[in-house]
């Protein structure tokens, strides 16, 4: 049986949170209800904490992890109450002496408290760091959810201040980068990589979930499709209701011809590779559109920097 961690990755607004809530409804799987974000930074800083066979060093590492993501551990990790000293003693007894082992220990403890045997994590940007995650967790599996990039772009622009994505050009660039990073990893490690298409999840949920469960080597369970819904606070509204078939293809009515042309000019090849049809047979973006979008990106980022500086 495969018992390693499961990482849900993908471009922003691709359905990663939906898949997170679906999989955490499986009786065997434990997933927090938010994004961790600390795995890569702490692995990169792993030499700073000294010899983790020392209880004091182990405690300092756990305190630093908690301080970096207090809200995550207090509100979205539901099995344990994070206590650095208690966990340090437990991990010291188990001889966990590396950053990956400690992270694994935290999530294992949470899964055990929830009565589940395996843990997972949903942090979309980890798609750019899957090689590092595999180095950290050699028995990991990766689930890449893909959604039509034009629908992602619409959703990204609705959340532009959160994502710092301010126009179609920037959305296309980001979607293209993330999807291609995932596919490149999948081509290299096909046995531990699985793609889920958002549209297939809506149109054929049973077949799609069954295929995913077989990849993860867990039993198919109806609870994954009839997943436990969010109360709506701070989460996407779609998590408060069942799967909605209508939540696809919105770009056809809501994107302007110019937006479609810009997106397809930059990401059309990737859209086609994913099986999505193009409106423009030979998509091209003219130099004026490109120049305007570049200026828009730079202006919006400059505004954000000034705004954040004032806030500080």
Question: For the segment 275-288, what is each residue's pLDDT rounded down to a tens digit?
Answer: 999 999 875 655 44
For the chain, the average pLDDT equals: 90
Examine the pLDDT at 2 and tell me if it is beyond 90. no
Please give the average per-residue pLDDT across 208-221, as a whole number. 96
Q: Is 306 helix (H, G, I), strand (E, B) or coil?
A: helix
For the chain, the domains span 1-13+117-197+244-312
Who has greater pLDDT, 233 or 236? 236
Helix pair 55-68, 84-94: axis angle to 10 deg: 130
Do residues 58 and 88 lie in contact, with contact meaning Cβ atoms separated by under 8 Å?
yes
pTM above 0.75, yes or no: yes
Question: For the segment 237-279, what is each residue's pLDDT rounded down to a tens digit?
Answer: 556 677 888 889 999 999 999 999 999 999 999 999 999 999 9
Do residues 205 and 243 lie in contact, with contact meaning Cβ atoms separated by under 8 Å?
yes
Please give the average per-residue pLDDT across 117-134, as a whole number. 98
Q: What is the pLDDT of residue 246?
A: 85
Do residues 172 and 268 lie in contact, with contact meaning Cβ atoms separated by under 8 Å?
no
Do residues 230 and 34 lie in contact, with contact meaning Cβ atoms separated by under 8 Å?
no
Q: How many residues does the chain have?
A: 312
Question: For the segment 154-178, what is each residue's pLDDT rounded down to a tens digit?
Answer: 999 999 998 899 999 999 999 999 9
- Range with the poorest average pLDDT among 48-52, 196-200, 289-293: 289-293
CA separation for the pair 249, 220 (Å, rounded): 28
Do residues 15 and 201 lie in contact, with contact meaning Cβ atoms separated by under 8 Å?
yes
Q: What is the pLDDT of residue 3?
A: 83
Specify the pairing of strand 6-9 against strand 193-197. unpaired
Q: What is the pLDDT of residue 239?
A: 66
From the list 89, 93, 46, the residue with the least C-alpha distance to 65 is 46
């Amino acid at each position: 049986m495969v018992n390693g961690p499961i990482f849900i990755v993908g471009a922003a607004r691709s359905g990663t949170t939906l898949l997170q809530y679906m999989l955490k409804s499986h009786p065997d799987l434990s997933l927090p209800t938010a994004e961790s974000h600390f795995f890569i930074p702490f692995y990169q800083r792993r030499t700073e904490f000294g010899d983790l066979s020392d209880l004091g060093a182990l405690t300092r590492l756990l305190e630093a992890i908690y301080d970096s993501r207090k809200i995550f551990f207090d509100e979205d990790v539901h099995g344990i109450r994070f206590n650095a000293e208690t966990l340090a003693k437990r991990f010291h007894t188990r001889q966990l002496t590396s950053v990956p082992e400690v992270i694994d220990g935290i999530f294992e403890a949470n899964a055990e408290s929830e009565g589940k045997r395996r843990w997972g994590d949903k942090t979309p940007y980890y798609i750019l760091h899957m090689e590092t995650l595999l180095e950290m967790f050699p028995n990991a599996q990766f689930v890449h959810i893909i959604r039509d990039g034009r629908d992602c772009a619409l959703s990204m622009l609705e959340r532009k201040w959160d994502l710092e994505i301010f126009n179609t050009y920037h959305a296309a660039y980001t979607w293209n980068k993330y999807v291609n990073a995932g596919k490149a990893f999948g081509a290299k490690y096909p046995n531990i990589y699985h793609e889920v298409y958002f549209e297939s999840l809506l149109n054929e949920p049973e077949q799609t979930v069954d295929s995913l469960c077989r990849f993860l080597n867990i039993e198919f369970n109806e609870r994954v499709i009839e997943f436990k819904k969010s109360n709506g606070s701070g989460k996407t509204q779609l998590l408060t209701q069942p799967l909605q078939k209508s939540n696809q293809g919105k770009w056809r009515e809501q994107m302007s011809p110019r937006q479609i042309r810009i997106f397809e000019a930059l990401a059309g090849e990737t859209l086609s590779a994913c099986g999505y049809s193009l409106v423009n047979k030979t998509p091209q973006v003219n130099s004026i559109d490109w120049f305007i979008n570049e200026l828009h990106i730079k202006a919006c980022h400059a505004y954000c920097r000034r705004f954040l500086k004032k806030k500080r």
